[in-house]
A and B are shown apart, each in its own frame.
Chain A
Amino acid sequence: MTEMERNLRNKKIAEKVYFSMCGLFMILTIAVLFWILYDVASKGYSTINWTFLTDRPREQMTAGGIWPAIVGTFYVASLTIIISVPVGITSAIYLNEYASKGTLVRVIRLSIRNLSGVPSIVYGLFGLGLFAATLGLGTSLISAALTLSIMSLPWVITASEEALKAVPQSFREGGLALGATKWQMIRQLVLPNAISGMATGSILALARATGETAPIILTGAAFFLPALPTSLSDRFMAMPYHLYILATQHMSPAQVRPIAYATALVLIAMVMGLNMVAIIWRYQIRKKQTW
């Protein structure tokens, strides 16, 4: 074997070794994810039954179910989406359809990216100070929803803009060439083709809002409420906060551990379920698109 051949062989071996090491870290990442999923699922599923899902917590949360928390999370997440999606979509329409490149657009994009980097607890503090204290809405469903919708605004804008960008430029040119005004073109050509992309983006935002805990602790989630919220100014129970309480604030944490695991499992199932719906829908749209 010549020197060169040996050299080449050594290099090939080194390549294998280094890449396998990198691959090990990738496997480790995936393993952590699946291990968490397995741990929660294996310890949580035996507690979940119909009563657990539809009953309220009983006997200081050591028995009964999580129905008020499911409903509370559903209410606050839906309100969040109802508020943030229209605003986010109009904002995205401006950025993608009306704005011309320049300083203003750069500043807007910078703000959006910065908003998505602000810690969730700071949003909570902001919501507490503005909606609950200054505007007098109190710690309530509406304060929490407004706080979460400001927080999810950057996600919705980014997703909607992606959807608008996916509509081919020729659609716009064709519309304008036929004599449509800009708004007619957007409403009848661009939006119908972007709407399902926007919807999947909104579902992803909904999934993230469902799992958020820090902002709602400050703005309206309640420790325990026997009744469901009936108006926007009521406080509410929420899944993530319920899990937090079961895990850390309960007087006998060992006794409620199975319920905590089951709550975690339901929460993960909700977030992952929404996420899967969005991913599958996105895949279907891409398959249908012929342009």
Chain B
Amino acid sequence: MAKLDEADFYKIQVQKQPAVGTSSRKMQDDLTQQSIKSNLGNFILEKFFLICGMLSIFVLLLILYFLLKNSWPALQEVRISEFIFGQRWMPSSPNPGFGALPLILGSIIITVGALLMAVPWSLAAAVYLGEAAPRLIREILKPVIEVLEIFPSVVLGFIALVVVGPFIARVFNLSSGLIGLTGAIVLAIMALPTIISISEDALNSVPKDYKEAAIALGATNWETARYVSIPAASSGIVAAVMLGFGRVVGETMAVLMAAGNALDMPLKEILNIPVPTLMQSMRTLTATIAIEASDVPWGSTHYHALFVIGVVLFVITFLVNLVSDIMLSRFQEVNRND
């Protein structure tokens, strides 16, 4: 419907009177027509917006479909068991090897190492921010943590390369400091903002009544945090840790620049038992894609093998996100302040 001007207003006035003669009937038809047109327009617009809204589902499915489709030729040529348990990753040599075990172990070891550092660190910081910090300090610190979150990962990788690596080499007396530990340290720093801000949100959304009740019973602020707030926020905190895990597993540039990228098995024999170690150069799944995908011949088995790695990463992060999402929405449901 167009803007109402005087003429339209007159039409409406006329319409209200009992229809006498042809002219007023014509006006009525006009109005009906106009209304149908604007209804049709709105209908089309609504469908247009619906399609745009559903684009995210479509894109997600497209990514999954495309990764699966492109990894299929490699899975036909290389058995999955070789892919998972094979220890030789040499996809471009004349006698190719597609064993991704060193890469898988590299990813696991670095991720676990990073989380072992990041989780206690960021939970302590979140407890301070959520339970102890004065309002003003919280208002200042939250944007600062946001800044850390958007920090370009390539810059952190660069810092790891030129500052952290040499430092680690000096401390442990190694020839090169580009080892799993360096990668884990940088990834821990990258996971901090994610875990801190989400678990702080969880602590903040614990109903006030709980805390007030604890304090009324004579608990100190620390006891309230320790025995009331943290247990009540636990599912939100677990979700925060999982999202941090997702971020660490998928991080590429920093770990590519920091961890050294050797293709050996990241294991050390202690008393003839191979034990995972952070103290040697290793390569992750993400770094492998970044190193090899830019100059691999399109359509080769090697190319498709990289898509298999892509599927693995996609599925891991998808599951992590799904589970943490379910946990967060349950948590919000339980703790609705009302």
Contact = CB atoms under 8 A, between A and B. Distances in A.
Interface of A: 11-12, 14-15, 18-19, 21-26, 28-30, 32-33, 36, 39-40, 87, 90-91, 93-95, 97-99, 104, 107-108, 110-115, 117-126, 128-130, 133, 139, 150, 153-154, 157, 179, 181-184, 204, 207-208, 210-214, 217-218, 240-241, 243-244, 247-248, 257, 260, 264, 267-268, 271-272, 275, 279
Interface string B281-319: 000001001100110001100000011001001100110
A188 B88 CA distance: 63
Contacts of B335: none
Interface in B233-272: 243, 246-247, 249-253, 257
Nearest to A17: B222
Contacts of B246: 117
B124 A25 contact: yes
5 contacts: A36-B151, A36-B155, A183-B42, A240-B154, A271-B151
B307 to A, nearest CB: 6
A129 B49 contact: no
B128 interface: yes
A207 B243 CA distance: 22
Given A93-B49, A114-B321, A122 B63 contact: yes
Contact of A244 (B60, B159, B257, B320): B257
Interface SS of chain A: helix, strand, loop or mixed? helix
Given A95-B53, A118-B314, A133-B298, A213 B253 contact: yes
A240 B153 CA distance: 9
Contact of A268 (B121, B152, B314): B152
Given A120-B250, A128-B293, A275-B150, A23 B161 contact: no
B253 A22 contact: no
Given A90-B52, A114-B325, 5 more contacts: A30-B144, A93-B49, A118-B318, A124-B290, A125-B289
A268 B307 CA distance: 32
Contacts of B322: 110, 114
A246 B293 CA distance: 20
A179 B4 contact: yes
Contacts of A130: 62, 66
A179 B2 CA distance: 11
Contacts, number: 258
B143 to A, nearest CB: 6
Contacts of B41: 181, 183
A91 B55 contact: yes
A126 B63 contact: yes
Given A90-B49, A118-B314, A217-B294, A33 B286 contact: no
A210 to B, nearest CB: 8
B158 interface: yes
Nearest to B325: A113
B231 to A, nearest CB: 16
B184 interface: no
A123 B59 CA distance: 11
B154 A22 contact: no
B148 interface: yes
B163 interface: yes
A98 B289 contact: no
B237 to A, nearest CB: 14
B222 A213 contact: no
B128 A247 contact: no
Contact of A247 (B60, B146, B158): B158
Contacts of B52: 87, 90-91, 93-94
Interface string B319-338: 01110010000000000000
Contacts of A30: 141, 144
A121 B286 contact: yes
B313 to A, nearest CB: 5
B313 A257 contact: no
A267 B153 CA distance: 11
B129 to A, nearest CB: 6
A181 B226 CA distance: 53
Contact of B60 (A91, A114, A268): A114
A32 B189 contact: yes
A104 B243 CA distance: 24
A110 B289 contact: no
Interface string B173-191: 0000000000000000100
B250 A119 contact: yes
A99 B63 CA distance: 25
A120 B254 CA distance: 12
The 3 closest A-B pairs by CB, nearest first: A119-B250, A211-B152, A94-B53
Given A36-B156, A117-B246, A98 B46 contact: yes
A247 B253 contact: no
B7 interface: no
Contacts of A212: 152
A33 B144 contact: yes
B126 to A, nearest CB: 8
B1 interface: yes
A117 B321 contact: yes
